[in-house]
Amino acid sequence: MSEIYEIALRYGMNPHQKEAKLKADGPLPLTVVNGEPGFINLLDALNAFQLVRELRQATGLPAAASFKHVSPAGAAVYAPMTPELAKAYFVDGAELSPLATAYARARGADRMSSFGDAAALSDVVDASTAHLLKREVSDLVVAPGYTPEALEILKQKKGGKYLILQIDPEYVPDPIETRTLFGMKLQQERNSAVPDASVFDRIVTENKDLPAGAKRDLLVALITLKYTQSNSICYALDGQTIGIGAGQQSRIHCTRLAGDKADRWYLRQHPAALNMKFREGLARAEQNNAIDLWLEDEVTPVEQAAWESCFEEVPARLTREEKREWLKGLTGVSYGSDAFLPFRDNLDRASRSGVKYVIQAGSSLRDEEVVQAANDYGMVMVYSGVRLFHH
């Protein structure tokens, strides 16, 4: 493969921003296999691939991420799926490889946000993963390689215009990174800290029982947060994210946003959701939107009429009491914060979405109050000692 030092882009962040390109002082570790990249495509791809590469390093498992607008909609490592989860993710009956399963989990974490995503895979893409990508609405894929069969499948997507990127998994960037903003250059040492088992050394709660599955999930949460626009909070369970709150100015708003997403993720596995009878020909994206609207407590008459048109048999809406009863089954959830928790209200809200395990940076003025909140709920809380802001 010949060395490439510059790649022309379709345009910058917006179509009117011309003269867009990707370049480096040395050979680029990135190759455009198919399609034409844009500026935001590469922001998503380069952040997403770092996330899955670090998940692979930290857990030893195939990893995937689904990115939108420079934050992950979902991320996951391989873990078997229950039949109910597979149905909620629209992959029931499919034969999925471990890598394809990781992507199904990453995309299924928040299917509303994953629509038109940038998919990142930690391993060489196989035919199983390519078939899954081909049927979903996705803008690009980035991975360390592709089997010939997988490449043949993916090149058929979007009329042959699907963006396929290949990246060197052994690439080591310069330790100093530079960003130009308003004509001025900012420089810093890049964030090369990869969370590993050492982050669990300082458990500060009375409950110190931290099982292997929780450690995996806390690592998934932390590494996801490292590539999520701050402030950010992540809920994780069974090797995948289930709710991400990104880019909020207030940490409690991150916690609420991520918690609401986690609740919706679990409510989508309710038997009433799994057994909906949609009208023939309704696309998966439209089915997905209909399920999401079904979860709303209040809708306008116009919304209701449009929603009812999606079904052969219109399902009854769950009452607030039915939702609360179902959500009692959401337990053992891991919760990560990209910085310290300033108030106990974060854990008060997190407790309502089944959170049992918490990792945060620590060193808040109200640490004692936050630890007490964790003790009140019987949670296990760890101080990582590392802030993971990302902008």
At 30, which amino acid appears? L
For residue 350, the 8-state DSSP code is: H
Catalytically annotated residue among 47, 68, 215, 261: 68
- 231 noted as active-site residue: yes
Rounded CA-CA distance 156/175 in Å is 38
- 68 noted as active-site residue: yes
Determine which helix (DSSP H) or strand (DSSP E) holds 188, and give its type and residue range: strand 184-189
Whole-number Cα distances in Å, 327 to 173, 267, 270, 324, 387: 44, 7, 9, 5, 31
- 253 noted as active-site residue: no
Rounded CA-CA distance 141/155 in Å is 11
At 29, which amino acid appears? P
At 63, which amino acid appears? A
Rounded CA-CA distance 301/321 in Å is 23
Among 327, 322, 387, which residue's Cα sits nearest to residue 351? Answer: 327
Catalytically annotated residue among 41, 231, 289, 346: 231
Rounded CA-CA distance 252/233 in Å is 9
Catalytically annotated residue among 18, 185, 328, 391: 391
What the block records as the tokens of 329 is 């089954």
Rounded CA-CA distance 235/225 in Å is 10
Catalytically annotated residue among 69, 253, 323, 390: 69
Cα dihedral 32/150/173/37 (nearest 10): 30
Do residues 382 and 202 lie in contact, with contact meaning Cβ atoms separated by under 8 Å?
yes
Rg (CA), the chain: 21
Among 137, 162, 147, 123, which residue's Cα sits nearest to residue 289? Answer: 137
- 3-state SS assignment for residue 17: coil
Rounded CA-CA distance 241/66 in Å is 11
Residues with catalytic roles: 68-69, 231, 391
